[in-house]
Amino acid sequence: MESEVHFAALSGAPGFPITVPATQFADYHRDTGTGILITERIHFGANGVERQYHKCLDNEMPEALDHYRASLTALARLIGYHRSGRLRPEQAGQFPVDLQAAQVGERVPLSADKLERRLSRLAAFAETSPGLLPANVRSPQFIAHLRNDAPRFLRQEPAVWSYLAGQTDYLALCHWNANADNAWFWQDADNALHCGLLDWGCVGQMRRAGSQG
């Protein structure tokens, strides 16, 4: 929760680029690992705020593409805020790089046998449900390459994590779980759709897509 409290303080700074729930009180006690964070309440379906949308139910979301464009725009603004230098080094230092920290609960190790079973299930799924996967992904050639490369990747997993963490040009402060259930949406006077982001647990520096230029 420490990083979440740091983020709450950061979000109140002038010029912060995205909308998050306004912080009322935030504190963290490192020695005991306990803290408290109180923010404003977002009233879904009232005062111009759209109803809440649930994860994995995009079929129930009107204009889903527009909503995801709004949420990705918010994330891009936060990334730009960091990578442009507006986030000072001492502020960025409050969010150390730990690419494996952004997860719910302890990660269960994946054995070689379990990986092989999953690959077999994927191959069977690709064969029995061809309409649910792109042609290149369900092709025998792709499946064969995956069967060959995935175990090699698993054996080198620590090195891969180390390499990714060392590529600092591709790291930025970001929300690790910006699904629809962690967002709220509204339209401005020009009918442009905007997005605010909730639930900043595990906030930190993480991998981002694209290149720095």
Q: Tell me what pLDDT residue 105 has.
A: 61
User: Predicted confidence band at 100 (pLDDT cuts at 50, 70, 90)?
Assistant: confident
Listed as own residue / partner, the contacts of 53-56 with beta carbons closer than 8 Å and 24 or more positions apart are 53/180, 53/181, 53/183, 53/185, 54/180, 54/181, 55/179, 55/180, 55/181
- pLDDT for res 149: 95
pLDDT for res 110: 85
pLDDT at 167 over 90: no
> In the chain, what are the domain boundaries?
2-106+169-207
Distances from the Cα of 140 to the Cα of 40, 64, 111, 152, 153, angstroms:
52, 33, 24, 19, 20
Is it the case that residue 52 has pLDDT exceeding 70? yes
